[in-house]
């Protein structure tokens, strides 16, 4: 069984278990489980065992290997890993020149004693909410392999939910951490825009891209985020927080299971005021437009050179984005300035807002749709209904798993103003301790 990161590190530092044994356990679980889940694109066994042996040598010599001593982890397949091509989920990049050094985030984790075990599946170039990949296949939800894991960081979420790894890294442009975290029942963070290091991460949309961890607990989420940020997070809960529920846009289109679970969650928090964000529909549309335009321009040279090398579902969206007029992109940027200013005013009196992550549970792989305004729409493009308007403003958001007793996982967004990440962590940890939030992990090796 793979436990929480902080507990693994403590056991390794105290000599109760070796880092090599811990890495081998993770490797064995991946070999046992991943054939049914398809979260892993590359198993880095040689590197992992070598890194783990170095941790054990430090322990034996009386040195502290770091706060993540011997903790195995994986990264979404768009982080640079020295000696390997950074594919960003694209078959067209399988033969790209290998990275010369690790991404900055990997360097910081390894300096803290963590052990890199695997790279993880994703939507091609992070353009999707499903982790349906034309080259590496579809990542399945560990709680029901007939359902999507979500995306674009689906492999990262599924790897934690299946108990293969205690934590992983993903990226979030329009919801790509929060959506799979919610659908797989684990914790995920979209930090304040720009708060965590992006060096060595294959870019998609500079205006929105961020990285963040997936974990089994709020404690681990804060621990790993502090290491990535190169400064420990202060998690002292602030008294007198004003918490509000997002209504309007965020209360529409909910499936019955989500509507009930979210209402129960809010009820446990007391008589929450309901607030509405202004012009959310325009914010989502503008986020779509900026995503398409920046992504299309980034990939335009390769689209011209080798269009057949792309997944057709990705290629067509990128071509459409590249064809957008500059004036439309500039209009979206202007609206973003206005929208952020309106949200700044709201967060002068509201410290934390809560909202669902998705409209409901993970869609089925054989029928990958959700219903918006009574119509079925493709899940791959539309699962970000409640996440895109928040990325558009650069807000920090924790995706927290609701402690539902049965059924498939559901997640809630804990949202704050820019720079309030530590406040969100303290709030999340308190709700986890109260039993309102809880990760859903498959510990049985026969799972799913």
**Cβ neighbour number for residue 435 with a 10 Å cutoff:** 9
pLDDT tens per residue, range 254-269: 999 999 999 999 999 9
Contacts of 256 (CB under 8 A, 6+ apart): none
Catalytically annotated residue among 18, 153, 156, 176 = 176
> What is the pLDDT at residue 445?
47
Cis amide prior to 448 (ω within 30 degrees): yes
- 217 has catalytic annotation: no
Nearest to 167 by CA among 6, 1, 361, 396: 6
Contact between 88 and 75 under an 8 Å Cβ cutoff? The reply is no
Can you tell me the distance from the alpha carbon of 276 to that of 413, in angstroms, rounded to the nearest whole number?
Answer: 15
How confident is the model at residue 233, as a pLDDT? 77
CA gap 121, 132 in Å, rounded: 9
φ/ψ (deg, to 5) at 168? -145, 170
User: How many CB atoms are closer than 10 A to CB 384?
Assistant: 28
Q: What is the pTM of this model?
A: 0.97
Q: Which of 18, 58, 152, 182 is catalytic?
A: 152
Q: Residue with structure tokens 């986890």?
A: 432
Pairing relation of β-strands 132-133 and 140-141?
Answer: unpaired
Asked about 152 being catalytic, the answer comes back as: yes
Q: How much is the pLDDT for 236?
A: 64
Q: Each residue's pLDDT tens digit in the chain (448 positions)? A: 689 999 999 999 999 999 999 999 999 999 999 999 999 999 999 999 999 999 999 999 999 999 999 999 999 999 999 999 999 999 999 999 999 999 999 999 999 999 999 999 999 999 999 999 999 999 999 999 999 999 999 999 999 999 999 999 999 999 999 999 999 999 999 999 999 999 999 999 999 999 999 999 999 999 999 999 998 877 666 678 999 999 999 999 999 999 999 999 999 999 999 999 999 999 999 999 999 999 999 999 999 999 999 999 999 999 999 999 999 999 999 999 999 999 999 999 999 999 999 999 999 999 999 999 999 999 999 999 999 999 999 999 999 999 987 899 999 999 999 999 999 999 999 999 999 999 999 866 455 4
DSSP β-ladder status, 187-190 and 144-148:
unpaired
58, 76, 156, 399: the catalytic one is 76
| Residue among 107, 119, 75, 80 at smallest CA distance from 96 | 80
Q: CA 104 to CA 207: how far, in whole Å?
A: 19
pLDDT of residue 405: 75
Beta-strand pair 397-401/411-415: antiparallel
Partners of 413 in the β-ladder = 355, 399
State pLDDT tens for residues 122-153: 999 999 999 999 999 999 999 999 999 999 99
Alpha-carbon gap, residue 384 to 359, rounded angstroms: 9
Instruction: Tell me how far apart the alpha carbons of residues 253 and 46 are, in angstroms, rounded to a whole number.
Output: 47
Q: Which has the closest alpha carbon to 433: 423, 441, 422, 425?
A: 425
**CA–CA gap between residue 424 and residue 390 (Å, rounded):** 15
Helix axes 218-228, 5-13, angle to 10 degrees: 70
Instruction: Name the DSSP letter for residue 367.
Output: B
Q: How many CB atoms lie within 10 A of CB 79?
A: 26
Length of the chain: 448
CB-based contact 438:385 (threshold 8 Å): no
What is the 8-class DSSP label of residue 40? Answer: E
Q: Hey, what are 151's tokens? A: 């995306």
Tell me the C-alpha distance between 274 and 364, whole Å. Answer: 32
Which among 380, 5, 360 has a CA at the least distance from the CA of 160?
A: 5
The verdict on whether 176 is a catalytic residue reads: yes
DSSP E strands in 68-143: the ranges are 72-76, 115-120, 132-133, 137-138, 140-141
CB-CB neighbours of 418 under 10 Å: 18
List the one residue out of 3, 9, 13, 1 whose CA is nearest residue 71: 9
């Amino acid at each position: 069984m793979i436990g929480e990161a902080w507990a693994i590190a403590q056991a390794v530092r105290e000599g109760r278990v070796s880092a090599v044994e811990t890495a081998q356990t993770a490797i064995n679980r991946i070999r046992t489980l991943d054939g049914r889940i398809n979260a892993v694109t590359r198993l880095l066994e040689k590197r992992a065992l070598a890194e783990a042996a170095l941790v054990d040598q430090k322990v034996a010599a009386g040195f502290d290997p770091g706060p993540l001593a011997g903790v195995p982890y994986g990264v979404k397949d768009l982080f640079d890993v020295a000696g390997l091509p950074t594919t960003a989920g694209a078959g067209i990049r399988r033969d790209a020149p290998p990275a010369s050094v690790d991404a900055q985030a990997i360097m910081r984790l390894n300096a803290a004693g963590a052990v890199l075990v695997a790279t993880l599946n994703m939507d091609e170039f992070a353009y999707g909410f499903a982790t349906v990949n034309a080259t590496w296949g579809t990542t399945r939800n560990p709680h029901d392999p007939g359902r999507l894991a979500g995306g674009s960081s689906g492999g990262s979420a599924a790897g934690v939910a299946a108990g293969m790894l205690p934590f992983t890294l993903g990226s979030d442009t329009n919801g790509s951490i929060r959506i799979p975290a919610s659908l797989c029942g684990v914790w995920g963070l979209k930090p304040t825009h720009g708060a965590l290091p992006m060096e060595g991460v294959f870019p998609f949309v500079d205006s929105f891209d961020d990285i963040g961890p997936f974990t089994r607990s709020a404690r681990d989420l804060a621990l790993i985020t502090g290491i990535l940020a190169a400064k420990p997070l202060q998690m002292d809960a602030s008294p007198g927080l004003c918490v509000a529920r997002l209504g309007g846009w965020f209360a529409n289109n909910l499936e019955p299971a989500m509507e009930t679970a979210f209402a129960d969650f809010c009820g446990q928090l007391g008589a929450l005021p309901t607030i509405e964000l202004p012009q959310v529909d325009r914010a989502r549309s503008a986020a779509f437009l900026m995503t398409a335009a920046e992504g299309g321009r980034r990939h335009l040279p390769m689209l011209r050179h080798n269009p057949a090398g792309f997944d057709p579902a990705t290629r067509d969206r990128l071509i459409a984005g590249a064809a957008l007029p500059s004036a439309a992109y500039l209009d979206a940027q202007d609206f973003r300035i206005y929208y952020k200013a309106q949200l700044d005013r709201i967060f002068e009196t509201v410290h934390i807002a809560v909202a669902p992550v998705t409209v409901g549970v993970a869609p089925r792989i054989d029928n990958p749709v959700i219903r918006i305004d009574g119509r079925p729409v493709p899940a791959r493009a539309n699962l970000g209904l409640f996440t895109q308007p928040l990325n558009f403003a650069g807000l920090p958001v924790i995706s927290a798993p609701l402690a539902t007793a049965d059924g498939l996982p559901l997640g809630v967004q804990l949202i704050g103003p820019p720079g309030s990440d530590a406040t969100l962590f303290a709030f999340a940890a308190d709700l986890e301790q109260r039993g309102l939030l809880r990760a859903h992990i498959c510990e049985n090796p026969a799972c799913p």
